[in-house]
Amino acid sequence: MSTFPHLSRRGFLTRTAVVGGAIAVPGVLTACSKTEGGGAPAGLDKLKEQGYVRVAYANEAPYGYEEDGQLKGEAPTLHREIFKALGVDELRPAFSEWDGLIPGLQAGKYDVISAGMAIIPERCEKALFSEPEFISPTALMVKKGNPKKITDLAAAKEAGVTIGVMSGAVEKGYATGTGISEDDIKTLQKPQDGADAVKAGRIDAFLLTGISLNWLAKNNSGLEVTESFVPEVDGVKQYSPGGAVFRQGSEDLRDAFNRELKKITSDSGRYVQLIGEYGFGEDTIPPADLKTADLCKA
């Protein structure tokens, strides 16, 4: 049994080509057509035969996002390396809003979600998760100087501030689990919406992983990010692990993916070399005893 029970974290298009460590995304970002969906999940043999795997992203830096026509981030970079090792050289990306990722997967619009999605029991009921790719503590984005002195969720509750969270993300559960009222929680569609809401004073703090917020702060002046902390829900620490997501019935593909993933997470040098530029390092490598089977237990 893992020593990290119930840990969790939040929260392609046309033909592509791999360019300079990223995936070129020609044309306008749109969802896959319906003609690509449905049917039984594709196994590894089929993916190898066709030469590509359809992957979904939610445009959330640094997990999976489009920039200058290229798909970048932790998940696409890691997944490209893994699928290449499995004999599938091309990722075909499809954009989805965060809360549409799993429904789109279930509908067969893509084969894998490459978005740094948190592994939580509710999602495990609807899809198959890889073993954890990373672990990330949580933080709060606030106005420069942190005028309300918010350091964590307990401090936010005591101060009676308004917290912003991403739609469909696990951070809302962290907030309510700390005792913050639903009336003091505002739902936003994407990270930049959270930063904009803090700037405008519509919310006092934006709750997300420290990795995401530190990345977001690079392009948003007048804001700062608190020191990362580990939320607790019902006395259980939430370490925020995330992974790749597959359609139910894709166990063989998931297992093959996991074998290659383990080679990377067991080699800290290779792990950092691959995704260090996105803010991931030795401190985000999942512990060896952190298992998806335990994370998926209600």
Q: Two tokens at 48?
A: 């190898």
Write out the chain's pLDDT in tens, 298 residues: 333 333 333 431 222 233 334 555 433 333 333 334 467 888 999 999 999 999 999 998 899 999 998 899 999 999 999 999 999 999 999 999 999 999 999 999 999 999 999 899 999 999 999 999 999 889 999 999 999 999 999 999 999 999 999 998 889 999 999 999 999 999 999 999 999 999 999 999 999 988 889 889 989 999 999 998 888 888 887 878 999 999 999 999 999 999 999 999 999 999 999 999 998 988 889 989 999 999 999 6
Is-contact 271 285, C-beta < 8 A?
Answer: yes
pTM (predicted TM-score)? 0.71
Matching CATH topology for 17-135+241-295 and 138-237? yes
pLDDT of residue 4: 35
Q: What whole-number distance in Å separates Cα of residue 105 and Cα of residue 94?
A: 11
Assigned fold of 138-237 = D-Maltodextrin-Binding Protein; domain 2 (3.40.190)
pLDDT at site 38: 61
Residue-range domain boundaries for the chain:
17-135+241-295, 138-237
Q: Which fold has domain 17-135+241-295?
A: D-Maltodextrin-Binding Protein; domain 2 (3.40.190)
65-67: strand order across its sheet: 17-19, 22-24, 70-72, 65-67
Contacts of 21 (CB under 8 A, 6+ apart): 77
- Distance between CA atoms of residues 125 and 171, nearest Å: 19
Predicted pLDDT of residue 60? 86
Amino acid residing at 166: M
SS3 string of 43-80? Answer: CHHHHHHHCEEEEEECCECCCEEEECCEEECHHHHHHH
